[in-house]
Chains A and B, each alone.
Chain A
Amino acid sequence: MTASALMQILASGLLMGLIYGMVAVGLSLIFGLMDVVNFAHGEFMMLAMYATFGCFVFFHIDPVLALPLVAAVMFIFGASVYAGVVRHALRVKVNAGMVQIFATFGLATLIQGAAQFFFTPDYRNIGDNGWLGGKTLELSGLFLPLPQVFGAVVSLVAFGGLYLLMKHSDFGRALEATREDKGAVALVGIDSNRVFALGWGMGAALVGVAGAVLSTFYYIHPQVGAAFGTIAYITVALGGFGSVFGAFAAGIVVGLVEALTAVVLPPAMKSMGIYVLYLAIIFLRPQGLFGRL
């Protein structure tokens, strides 16, 4: 393989990895905040993809413009899921561990079934009809598909925004304080319920942005979320549970490993590399690369 072909593969892996990173950051945020895994994370993304598709088909709004809209809707959706489901799951005293898993797991199944029922299992795509579809960017000999480049840029901006928000705002400090000690923050007048709801809103908005970006070049179908959900779990485990930065960095690693696997193995097996990576993590370094377990 020539060096330029390798560069091409690494570049596309990097672009995809940045999007994986954004998907995983949303999951990691909620996880680190309250030690709850959102098993419906992938399904949130799938909903965002359908929402973007709907905007495009019915209102002729290009995904690039629909993106903030979808993020806002997903924010409200995420906060409502917290208020309607997760908050109640946390209150349950009997079988608490199992309830936390099955509340969002049941939600995931419900969303997937509803998508199949109402949107049919058909594969849909926006593809070349959108502004970005089919265009490529040539960068010193590398050909980069414009939708992926757009996705990578959006992902970097979104992560940068999240980072600033978490480090330099009252909300970020409240978030950090709540994840440290839920009881203590109540004493200083922070409503942990509100912080959790905002956390869920932000997690959903982030994965919503990822979904909107993905819908510009990826097929949209009811199971698409499950596949990305699995990748998000692997990414979060690699980055270290609870580390938002770790999740983002791990997303890039996952994207690169996936792209390189496709060189060695047939395309159908491209996920094998990240699965093996995942096994290596849980056997050798369960706390992940940047985690505190």
Chain B
Amino acid sequence: MQPTILAAATAPAVADSTNAAADAVHSFGRRRRMQLVVALAIFVLAALSPLVVQNAYLRNVIVLTLMYAALSQAWNILGGYCGQISLGHALYFGVGAYVTSKLYVGFNLLPWLGMLGGGLMAAALAVVLGYGCFRLKGHYFSIATIVIAEMGLLIVHNWEWLGGASGIQWPFGEDSWATLQFARDKTPYIHFAVGLLALTWFICWLIEDSRWGYWWRAVKDNPEAAESLGVTVLSSKLAAAAISAFLTAVGGGFYAAFVSYVDPDSVLQFRFSLLIVLPVVLGGIGTLWGPMLGAVILIPLTELSRSYMGGSGSGFDLMIYGGLVMAVALLKPEGLVRLWPVRQGRRKESAP
């Protein structure tokens, strides 16, 4: 008697749970589509912002905000999804900026090619360095990234072919999309930066629901367990590092074109590693919206403090960064995106 009762009792429950699973899959798909729509709306608004914002200084701030959002999103691929906290991404940023500048100024190759070349070179560098560093766990890895970035700074500082400490100045030229030089109106830079942000965001969006994305999160949570389930940990990390470095270097190439100038201290310094990491830490590590949210808060704040508190030399901006990072790490480690209330439905669907 007992077994039949049990069977009768569990049958509807099973049907229920398959329904729930189908519902969950359905609403997961719907949420993914919503993300695309929201992101598209944000990018269109950002691209149209020059219509409203006429002030050249504010347009500059918009370019930087979009660029740091993109860089931070690129960092997020390695640091957020894969859990490898790099504090030396300035190295890849610098590689992109220098390759682009050298190819353009020295060899007359268009910055577009330079960005591609710089990106590939940074990706290759990331793979080589990653091969050594990824054996190091957690904070050991972070330390290695700091030291290696410092090494890059020192080398470029003393490399005459790359202009040494004085760097490479881009020549004045006609405004053109081919050379990415726009002296009068900065609007095209906003459009390029939106494009870069959209690209990195979309890659992250794809990653979130891809085999790699799941692998990386498994590696982040517990590398040993991931390995035992058949995830090849080292190559997963290397892939994440390569993609992250590529996009960071493209951002570096863009920055060089934007300021028409590159020198070791302005692209390879530790401050850049910091500025790349901060938005994502603030907004939420390993999230789709964290880097954008963090950049929108942080970069205008930085620029304002810079203009009101007298330059970045005063140290006031560093105090803000440091205080914010500490506060978020200790009080809101999920990042500020989690200040938005998680909808009840979403919480249900994530339950097993």
Convert B274-318 into 0s and 1s, putting 1 for each residue whose CB lies closer than 8 angstroms to a CB of A: 100000010001100000000000000000000000000111111
**Per a CB cutoff under 8 Å, which of A100, A116, A268 touches B158?**
A268
- B325, closest chain A residue (CB): A106
> Are B322 and A92 in contact, CB atoms less than 8 angstroms apart?
no
Q: A106-B321, A278-B147 are in contact. List 8 more A-B contacts (CB 8 A).
A: A36-B139, A37-B139, A92-B330, A95-B333, A102-B281, A110-B322, A113-B318, A279-B148
**Per a CB cutoff under 8 Å, which of A116, A233, A272 touches B154?**
A272
Contacts of B258 in A (CB 8 A): none
> Are A282 and B136 in contact, CB atoms less than 8 angstroms apart?
yes
> Are B138 and A230 in contact, CB atoms less than 8 angstroms apart?
no
**Given A106-B326, A275-B147, is A116 in contact with B315 using a C-beta cutoff of 8 Å?**
yes
Contacts of B147 in A (CB 8 A): 230, 233-234, 275, 278
**Per a CB cutoff under 8 Å, which of A89, A106, A268, A272 touches B324?**
A106
- How many residue pairs, one in A and one in B, have C-beta atoms under 8 Å apart? 138
Give A82 Cβ to nearest chain B Cβ, in Å.
Answer: 13
Alpha-carbon separation in the docked complex, A222 to B316 (Å): 13
Give B156 Cβ to nearest chain A Cβ, in Å.
Answer: 12
**Per a CB cutoff under 8 Å, which of A88, A97, A116, A268 touches B83?**
A97
Q: Is residue B319 within 8 Å, beta carbon to beta carbon, of the partner chain?
A: yes
Contacts of B135 in A (CB 8 A): 282, 286
> Are A113 and B316 in contact, CB atoms less than 8 angstroms apart?
yes
**Given A102-B329, A113-B322, A282-B133, is A222 in contact with B315 using a C-beta cutoff of 8 Å?**
yes
Contacts of B285 in A (CB 8 A): 95, 98
Residues of A participating in the B interface, judged by any CB pair closer than 8 Å: 36-37, 85, 88-89, 92, 94-103, 105-117, 121, 222, 226, 230, 233-234, 237, 241, 266, 268-269, 271-272, 275, 278-279, 282-283, 286
**Per a CB cutoff under 8 Å, which of A85, A115, A271, A282 touches B315?**
A115
Alpha-carbon separation in the docked complex, A130 to B314 (Å): 29
**Given A116-B315, A230-B146, is A103 in contact with B326 using a C-beta cutoff of 8 Å?**
yes
> Are B138 and A97 in contact, CB atoms less than 8 angstroms apart?
yes
Convert B91-135 into 0s and 1s, putting 1 for each residue whose CB lies closer than 8 angstroms to a CB of A: 000000000000000000000000000000000000000001101
**Given A269-B158, A279-B132, is A88 in contact with B333 using a C-beta cutoff of 8 Å?**
no
> Are B274 and A109 in contact, CB atoms less than 8 angstroms apart?
yes
Q: Closest 9 interchain pairs by CB?
A: A116-B315, A113-B318, A110-B322, A109-B322, A106-B325, A106-B326, A113-B319, A117-B315, A102-B329
Which of A36, A95, A99, A103 has most B Cβ within 10 Å? Answer: A95
- A229, closest chain B residue (CB): B146
> Are B318 and A85 in contact, CB atoms less than 8 angstroms apart?
no
**Given A271-B154, A275-B154, is A117 in contact with B322 using a C-beta cutoff of 8 Å?**
no
Alpha-carbon separation in the docked complex, A92 to B333 (Å): 8
Q: Is residue B157 within 8 Å, beta carbon to beta carbon, of the partner chain?
A: yes
- B332, closest chain A residue (CB): A94
> Are A101 and B150 in contact, CB atoms less than 8 angstroms apart?
no
Convert B220-245 into 0s and 1s, putting 1 for each residue whose CB lies closer than 8 angstroms to a CB of A: 00000000000000000000000000
> Are A241 and B140 in contact, CB atoms less than 8 angstroms apart?
yes
Q: Which of chain B's residues 148-181 have a Cβ closer than 8 Å to chain A? A: 148, 150-151, 154-155, 157-158
Give B331 Cβ to nearest chain A Cβ, in Å.
Answer: 9
Alpha-carbon separation in the docked complex, A111 to B163 (Å): 33
Contacts of B319 in A (CB 8 A): 109-110, 113-114, 117
Alpha-carbon separation in the docked complex, A99 to B328 (Å): 9
Contacts of B249 in A (CB 8 A): none
Contacts of A115 in B (CB 8 A): 315
Q: Is residue B24 within 8 Å, beta carbon to beta carbon, of the partner chain?
A: no
14 sample A-B contacts, Cβ–Cβ < 8 Å, listed by A number: A37-B143, A85-B330, A88-B330, A98-B83, A101-B142, A102-B328, A103-B329, A105-B87, A105-B325, A106-B327, A113-B319, A113-B320, A233-B143, A268-B157
- B133, closest chain A residue (CB): A282
Alpha-carbon separation in the docked complex, A100 to B333 (Å): 10
- B271, closest chain A residue (CB): A109
- A92, closest chain B residue (CB): B333
Q: Is residue B270 within 8 Å, beta carbon to beta carbon, of the partner chain?
A: yes
- B144, closest chain A residue (CB): A282
- B149, closest chain A residue (CB): A230
> Are B313 and A237 in contact, CB atoms less than 8 angstroms apart?
no
Contacts of B315 in A (CB 8 A): 112-117, 121, 222
